[in-house]
Amino acid sequence: MRFINREHEIAMLQKARELSKKKLYTIVIYGMRRVGKTRLLLEFLEENDLYLFVNRTKTSESLLREYEEILRKKGIITRYEHISTWDEFFEVLFERFNGVVAFDEFQEFQKVDPSVIPTLQRLIDMNENRGGIMFIFTGSTIGLIEKLFKDSKESLYGRIKRKIHLKELGIKGAYEMAKELKLESLDDFISLYSIFGGFPKYYVTIEDEGLEGRSAGEIVKNLFFTPSAPLEDEIPKILSLEFGRRSGVYYDILEAVANGATSISKIAGYMNREETSLTRQLKELIEYFKLLSYDRAVLGKERVLYINHPLINFWFRFIHPRLSEYEAMREDLGEEVISMLPEYVGRRFDFICRELLWILNRENKLPFKFTEVGRHWGYYREEGKRKVYEIDIVALSRDRKKAIFGECKWKKKAINGEKLVEELKKKVKLTGWKGEAYYLISAKKIKNAPEDAVILDEKAILKVLNSPSP
Ligand SMILES: Nc1ncnc2c1ncn2[C@@H]1O[C@H](COP(=O)(O)OP(=O)(O)OP(=O)(O)O)[C@@H](O)[C@H]1O
């Protein structure tokens, strides 16, 4: 797959390389698994730079031997020289090497040999003013890498000049990949993006499996629901690397949230456990692993939990609760899941709308600039009963005096725009909104679109996706 996006990150790295010529420069690139850290490194590194992968399955001695061999191949040490300690390894680097040294999966040193970290710290301190070397450390386990570099108790704290949090490619980047894969049909793309988000790895898997130009349903079937499917253990693999041996309750919480338990009391109900026995793990899933987030009612105080990683959400919604069936009757389960996809995609479409709105906002293509966007929900009484209303999009100006209220519907059938806006206006009344109001409808096809509403239909969405990035 051609290298997509990341101009901003490459520019930051290039600037750091320039600065490192005068004075040692250290940079951390961290982000979720599969987001593209290694590829970014490899695109950036030049022939004489050093790429060093910290392989967690190796012993300290064998990793050192591997790196020693790399130094030999690069001509940094001779055939007759040997490196027997990590001290020597870094000393040789500082004495003889000019260029970039990239440690991929740096956090794995904690497993292979934790003493490497203070050794490196000491040598960084001693060589602070030495020009010519730049260190890049990449790490996947977000919580761990943050701890390694931000926690003042850990030794590399304060030695890092720049941190790059590498995020998913975003909807435009994902659409570029989809185009490479001949998947430009918006319907298929919206379904795939709802499942895979902007993680390049999964689009590369579509390419690796020769599934270019196929429908979203066929792709999902092939990648998950065939014998030895390529993504059959993707999520368990990622999560076991993140959670280590502490996994148990985390899995149950994720399953509960993916299936509609959006608060700690509902999760406890789903799992049939006491709330207090889940507090710590829930906090860790939010703050340390960053897999769960809160979605707030923009005009209110309530909040609900959701899984912010699209593929983890998909896995826990459809496969994890039915792992036995997944083993024994995979193809049948696949048929069932594929038949439920339109409804699933319909619900994920809210997030897609928000992302599209952010793009339009950046490009000044909305009635005003908003600074916050999310959902809103509230309650009203009808015939003595308490009922809920929901507004898919509420985008607010900084002073909270202007708002865009929107509905997002991804369905095959055309939506009646006028009717939808009428219903939306009734819901807006329920919120008690007093400021300026604008209305937005996002749907595949819209008939009777009111002239003064912001319209995000198939044509408008394709225009956003195809517009050049600023
Ligand atoms: N910007 C990109 N454009 C095109 N392909 C990409 C891009 N970034 C990554 N890829 C591809 O996606 C796959 C996964 O990327 P990569 O291995 O770099 O991710 P990673 O973050 O290092 O993952 P992990 O933490 O799991 O090792 C690779 O096949 C890579 O070539």
Return the pLDDT at 118: 87
Tell me: the pLDDT tens digits for 14-69?
A: 999 999 999 999 999 999 999 999 999 999 999 999 999 999 999 999 999 999 99
- Shortest-distance atom of ligand 1 to CA 200: 12
Q: Which two tokens stand for residue 4?
A: 């997509």
Provide the Cα torsion 14, 19, 21, 23; round to 10°.
Answer: -140
Asked if residue 38 has its Cβ within 6 Å of ligand 1, the reply is yes
Q: Are 161 and 137 in contact (CB under 8 A)?
A: no
Asked if residue 309 has its Cβ within 6 Å of ligand 1, the reply is no
Asked if residue 140 has its Cβ within 6 Å of ligand 1, the reply is yes
Q: Which two tokens stand for residue 194?
A: 């709802």
Residues 368 and 438: their CA atoms lie apart, in Å, by 10
Among 195, 182, 183, CA closest to 224: 195
ipTM beyond 0.85? yes
CB atoms within 10 A of CB 352: 21
Those residues with Cβ within 8 angstroms of residue 445's Cβ, 6 or more apart along the chain or in another chain: 413, 414, 415, 457, 458
- Shortest-distance atom of ligand 1 to CA 166: 21
Residues 372 and 375: their CA atoms lie apart, in Å, by 10
Mean pLDDT, the chain, whole residue set: 93
Q: Which two tokens stand for residue 143?
A: 């919580």
CB atoms within 10 A of CB 41: 20
- To test the pocket of ligand 1, the residue of 201, 237, 312, 469 to mutate (highest count of ligand atoms within 8 Å of its CB) is 201
Q: How far is the CA of 38 from the centre of ligand 1 (A)?
A: 6
What residue ranges define each of the domains in the chain, with the CATH number in brackets? 7-165 (3.40.50.300), 170-224 (no CATH), 234-328 (1.10.10.10), 348-466 (3.40.1350)
Tell me: the pLDDT tens digits for 118-150?
A: 899 889 889 989 999 999 999 887 777 777 777
Those residues with Cβ within 8 angstroms of residue 136's Cβ, 6 or more apart along the chain or in another chain: 13, 27, 28, 29, 41, 100, 101, 102, 103
Sign, CA torsion 454/455/459/464: positive
Confidence of residue 161 (pLDDT cuts 50, 70, 90): confident
Would the pLDDT of 152 be above 70?
A: no
Residues 136 and 162: their CA atoms lie apart, in Å, by 10
Task: Identify which has the larger pLDDT, 151 or 297.
Answer: 297
Confidence of residue 375 (pLDDT cuts 50, 70, 90): very high
Burial of 1 (C-beta count, 10 Å sphere; 0-12/13-18/19+)? middle
**Cα(first)–Cα(last) distance of the chain, in Å?**
23
Residue appearing with tokens 């979605």? 295
Would the pLDDT of 470 be above 70?
A: no
Asked if residue 200 has its Cβ within 6 Å of ligand 1, the reply is yes
- Shortest-distance atom of ligand 1 to CA 169: 1
Give me the phi and psi of 427, to 5 degrees please: -70, -40
Among 268, 267, 265, 256, CA closest to 317: 256
Asked if residue 29 has its Cβ within 6 Å of ligand 1, the reply is no
The average pLDDT across 71-83 equals 94
Would the pLDDT of 156 be above 90?
A: no
Q: How far is the CA of 42 from the centre of ligand 1 (A)?
A: 10
Q: How far is the CA of 34 from the centre of ligand 1 (A)?
A: 5
| Identity of the amino acid at 248 | G
C-alpha radius of gyration, the chain, whole number: 25
CB atoms within 10 A of CB 457: 19
Asked if residue 127 has its Cβ within 6 Å of ligand 1, the reply is no
Which residue's CA lies nearest to atom 19 of ligand 1? 36
Q: What is the DSSP letter of 329?
A: S
What's the pTM value of the predicted model, to 2 decimals?
Answer: 0.93
Q: Which two tokens stand for residue 79?
A: 């055939």
Q: How far is the CA of 166 from the centre of ligand 1 (A)?
A: 11
CB atoms within 10 A of CB 21: 12
Residue appearing with tokens 């202007």? 402
Q: How far is the CA of 1 from the centre of ligand 1 (A)?
A: 10
Return the pLDDT at 150: 72
